[in-house]
Amino acid sequence: MKVLAAWLATMATMATVTLAGPASANPGLGLPQLLPAAPGEAQRAELGRQLFFDRRLSFNGTMSCGMCHVPEEGFASNASQRAVGIEGRSLKRNAPTVLNVALLTTLFHDGRENALAPQAWSPLLHPDEMANPSVGHLLDRLRRMPQYAGRFERAFPGRGIGMDSVGEALAAYQRTLVAGDSRFDRWRWGEQPQALDAEQRQGFALFTGKAGCARCHLVGAEHALFTDQRFHVTGAGAAWAPRGPVVVPLAPGVQTTLQAADRQAYEAVDAPDLGRWDISQDPRDRFAFRTPSLRNVARTAPYMHDGSLPTLEAVVDFYAAGGGAAPDRSPLLRPLPLDAAERQALVAFMRALDSTALPALVRQARSPVAR
Ligand code: HEC
Ligand code: HEC
């Protein structure tokens, strides 16, 4: 208990050191309004929080949702380009943040889901993520955990533990992760003209002007999600090329040459991530990925669906070059004439998108579970 208290205290100071600023009175400033909370929503969200951080939800009891969506790392994973799942298995994509995720109607980098409650079952069942062999298997395990029965019954009267209620509880928790009210929002919507400095304001002018970022990372008249929730080919990760023939030694002096086609039979990892194409089968969607929101983006490095760009500076350089090499790259991307000061200003603007609500969300995520 003492250890836990000390650790929580460290987390609390870390949060204030790295995320300084006045606490948020209105975390939703600058965001579209969510539907008002339904009766009982708070109870469901608290249950969802317990589930989100409970490692026993994975097959071998090691992995929780919160280990890839880490509160202190912008509810994403800063440590790995691509998420690392159960038994260290590497996934093909970077873990996106779950901050503000309730405002999205296009989920996953390829948009294959559209609602949080069913989405939760995807990592729960994925063999490389939480690896539960079936829905029933996990539900039976939850039913045997004494502390959950009463909590599910209170949050979902008459329904108890089921596929829907597990998903709905996790969704209810994620709906609380509203993280607007950044310096940008205070400047734009909060009548605080000093909230952005001159460099950040220049960055915003570039973002919505010459650099053309806001054509996909939308900024509306009344709020800004910084995403059109659509799919575009930026060329990130598309530099992939099939490896040529591979020479495999069989015995001293004896070797054979395997062609790419032979290797496909056993090397699933040696394949490009075609993104949206997997879902739409539309050839124009090869290498297309969903535009991510840029809110809190300074907290969620590394970047792009494959985590291939380590910093915001690298992202801006990537766009200044006109994006990556891909056959059907978006016509909205062109090499940009941006000097060093302009690139720096774009980065400074993106750093002003950190929510002042984040320290409180991190503290809440780590607060002990009420008995
Ligand atoms: C092993 C790491 C890992 C675990 C564990 C994990 N996730 Fe994720 N999560 C990811 C990755 C990687 C993606 C993106 C996958 C893709 O786009 O194909 C993702 C995507 C998401 C998204 C979509 C976000 C967006 O912007 O579209 C949500 C919501 C989400 N996860 C919630 C959860 C919940 C709830 C759990 C626990 C039940 C969970 N995750 C467990 C790695 C993980
Ligand atoms: C054609 C639409 C489009 C334009 C224009 C555009 N972006 Fe993007 N942006 C995307 C897409 C799509 C992704 C996701 C790519 C991926 O996952 O591989 C992305 C990803 C990013 C990311 C990474 C976010 C993360 O969480 O990984 C940043 C940062 C970013 N863009 C900033 C910018 C800036 C700055 C500009 C202007 C210089 C810009 N974008 C212009 C569509 C666009």
Do residues 194 and 102 both lie within one domain? no
Residue nearest to atom 19 of ligand 2 (CA): 291
Q: Is residue 86 within 6 Å of ligand 1 at its C-beta?
A: no
Do residues 139 and 287 both lie within one domain? no
Write out the two tokens for 299.
Answer: 């907290």
Do residues 162 and 231 both lie within one domain? no
CA pair distance 274, 252, nearest whole angstrom: 39
Do residues 96 and 198 both lie within one domain? no
CA pair distance 291, 281, nearest whole angstrom: 19
- What CATH number is given to the structural domain containing 219? 1.10.760.10
Q: Is residue 91 within 6 Å of ligand 1 at its C-beta?
A: yes
Q: Nearest Cα to 30, choosing from 185, 201, 176, 219?
A: 185
Domain of 60, in residue numbers: 2-179+357-366
Residue 131 lies in a domain: yes
Our count of domains for the chain comes to: 3
CA of 18 to the centre of ligand 1 (A): 25
Do residues 172 and 220 both lie within one domain? no
- Could you report the per-residue pLDDT of 146-181, keeping only the tens digit for each? 999 899 999 999 999 999 999 999 999 999 999 999
Do residues 161 and 250 both lie within one domain? no
Residue 371 lies in a domain: no
* Half-sphere exposure for 169 (CA within 13 Å, toward CB): 26
Q: Model pTM?
A: 0.89
CA of 303 to the centre of ligand 2 (A): 9
Segment 32-58 shows an average pLDDT of 92
* Burial class of residue 312 in the structure, from the number of CB atoms within 10 Å of its CB (0-12 exposed, 13-18 middle, 19+ buried): buried
CA of 151 to the centre of ligand 1 (A): 24
Is 276:329 a contact under the CB 8 Å cutoff? Answer: no
Do residues 229 and 216 both lie within one domain? yes
Write out the two tokens for 355.
Answer: 């929510």
Residue 251 lies in a domain: yes
Q: Nearest Cα to 170, choosing from 260, 102, 242, 95?
A: 102
- Could you report the per-residue pLDDT of 237-292, keeping only the tens digit for each? 877 655 556 566 676 677 777 666 665 555 455 578 899 999 999 989 999 999 99
* pLDDT at residue number 58: 94
Do residues 81 and 114 both lie within one domain? yes
